[in-house]
């Protein structure tokens, strides 16, 4: 009888232990939510663990209004693994006016007044939205003002379901877009990137624009995918640029760009027309292994340190009228008739006119 009793106790103890182990396993896989206390001043923070289900993320969704309130109050925003609902409209931030000091000459006062005519808005703290889903739009639509991000802007791994337009923005630190997904347009027109741009393995949507942007720091977009039109027209790059293994699905424009350091397009694939007219490559230009599957225009480009276009796949002979610093044989020039060159040039002008008209319509 005693043996039977002890046996039952032993079985019960094992069952309790196994139940505890199973419970521990469930707890480890549970959705963990870490957030800042509500109703108190300080950064807006919410982190959801990777184990959270879609329903749990939606139940813990962050409203865009709370993000805008934090930014208006100069607080940092730190979101990881969340669903962000609503639009982030940066035009709603208060306009910042510079104080005019006393004792200035009339000319100095007039100069400062002219500067103050432009709207200046700023985001003082970090804006971090990592590995999240943004259901609304991000907009800065001021046609005459600037938006300055003083802290870090990190959108690593985030999916943007609506459009992003941060044109005329100044990023004082690196803008991080690595592994992000833009389902709609992504506009950074006339942006200023003081410490550069990181967009490795990023997937851009139907239209991407960095027209007339300035990059003081390095640009790392290796392995990125541009599904739609990509505009880097008239950009200025003071530091190395890396588009190695990038893929460009539609028309791609770098015309008028200035690459002052390394410009790396090794193993990049251009599925449609590509435009490098009037580009200045002051540093090394790497195109080894790149593939141009449609027409490409290098007219009047300047390769100050030479080129490696002989290592490029051209499905059509490139336009190289007035191009400096290239090996003409390697570039494949000379097998096009004058009529063909004029026809390609006309096509390029038509595409450029379309891009300009489209940009005016959007603004």
Mean pLDDT of 248-252: 95
Residue 198 counted as domain residue: yes
- The pLDDT tens digits for 272-307 are 999 999 999 999 999 999 999 999 999 999 999 988
Provide the number of structural domains found in the chain: 1
Residue 3 counted as domain residue: no
Instruction: Give backbone dihedrals phi and psi of 106, rounded to 5 degrees, phi first.
Output: -55, -35
Q: Are 279 and 256 in contact (CB under 8 A)?
A: yes
Taking alpha carbons only, the member of 129, 43, 145, 21 closest to residue 94 is: 145
Q: What is the DSSP letter of 113?
A: H
Residue 106 counted as domain residue: yes
Q: Please give the Cα distance from 147 to 123 (Å, whole number).
A: 8
Residue 336 counted as domain residue: yes
Q: What's the Cα-to-Cα distance from 257 to each of 48, 50, 190, 235, 281, rounded to whole Å?
A: 41, 41, 13, 5, 8
- Select the more confidently predicted residue: 263 or 1: 263
Residue 258 token pair: 């200035």
The range of the structural domain enclosing residue 74 comes to 44-362
Residue 342 counted as domain residue: yes
Asked whether the predicted pLDDT for residue 99 surpasses 60, the reply is no
Residue 345 counted as domain residue: yes
- The pLDDT tens digits for 303-332 are 999 888 999 999 999 999 999 998 765 554
Asked whether the predicted pLDDT for residue 120 surpasses 80, the reply is yes
Residue 39 counted as domain residue: no
Residue 113 counted as domain residue: yes
Residue 114 token pair: 């002219």
Task: Give the containing element (helix H, strand E) for 18.
Answer: helix 2-28
Length of the chain: 363
pLDDT of residue 362: 45
Could you tell me the pTM of the whole model? 0.79
């Amino acid at each position: 009888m005693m043996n039977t009793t002890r046996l039952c106790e032993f079985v019960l103890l094992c069952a309790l232990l196994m139940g505890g182990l199973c419970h521990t396993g469930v707890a480890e896989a549970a959705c963990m939510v870490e957030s800042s206390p509500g109703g108190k001043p300080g950064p807006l923070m919410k982190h959801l663990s990777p184990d959270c289900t879609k329903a749990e993320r939606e139940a813990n969704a962050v409203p865009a209004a709370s993000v805008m309130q934090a930014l208006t109050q100069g607080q940092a925003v730190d979101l990881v693994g969340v669903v962000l609902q609503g639009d982030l409209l940066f035009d709603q931030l208060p306009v910042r006016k510079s104080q005019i000091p006393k004792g200035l000459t009339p000319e100095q006062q007039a100069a400062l007044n002219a500067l103050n005519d432009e709207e200046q808005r700023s985001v003082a703290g970090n804006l971090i939205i990592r590995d999240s889903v943004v259901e609304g739009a991000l907009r800065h639509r001021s046609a005459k003002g600037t938006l300055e991000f003083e802290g870090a802007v990190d959108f690593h791994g985030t999916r943007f379901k609506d459009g992003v337009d941060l044109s005329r923005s100044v990023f004082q630190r690196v803008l991080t877009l690595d592994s992000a997904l833009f389902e709609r347009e992504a506009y950074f027109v006339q942006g200023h990137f003081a410490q550069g741009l990181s967009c490795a393995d990023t997937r851009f949507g139907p239209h991407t624009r960095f027209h007339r942007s300035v990059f003081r720091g390095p640009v790392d977009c290796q392995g990125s995918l541009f599904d739609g039109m990509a505009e880097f027209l008239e950009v200025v790059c003071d530091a190395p640029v890396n588009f190695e293994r990038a893929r460009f699905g539609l028309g791609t424009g770098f015309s008028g760009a200035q690459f002052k350091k390394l410009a790396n397009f090794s193993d990049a694939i251009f599925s449609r027309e590509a435009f490098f007219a009037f580009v200045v490559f002051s540093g090394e230009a790497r195109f080894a292994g790149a593939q141009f599957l449609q027409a490409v225009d290098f007219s009047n480009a300047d390769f100050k340190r030479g080129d490696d276009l002989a290592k490029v796949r051209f499905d059509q002979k490139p336009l190289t009228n007035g191009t400096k610093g290239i090996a003409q044989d390697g570039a494949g020039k000379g097998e096009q008739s004058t009529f063909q060159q004029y026809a390609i040039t006309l096509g390029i002008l038509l595409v450029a006119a379309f891009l300009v008209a489209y940009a005016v319509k959007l603004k």
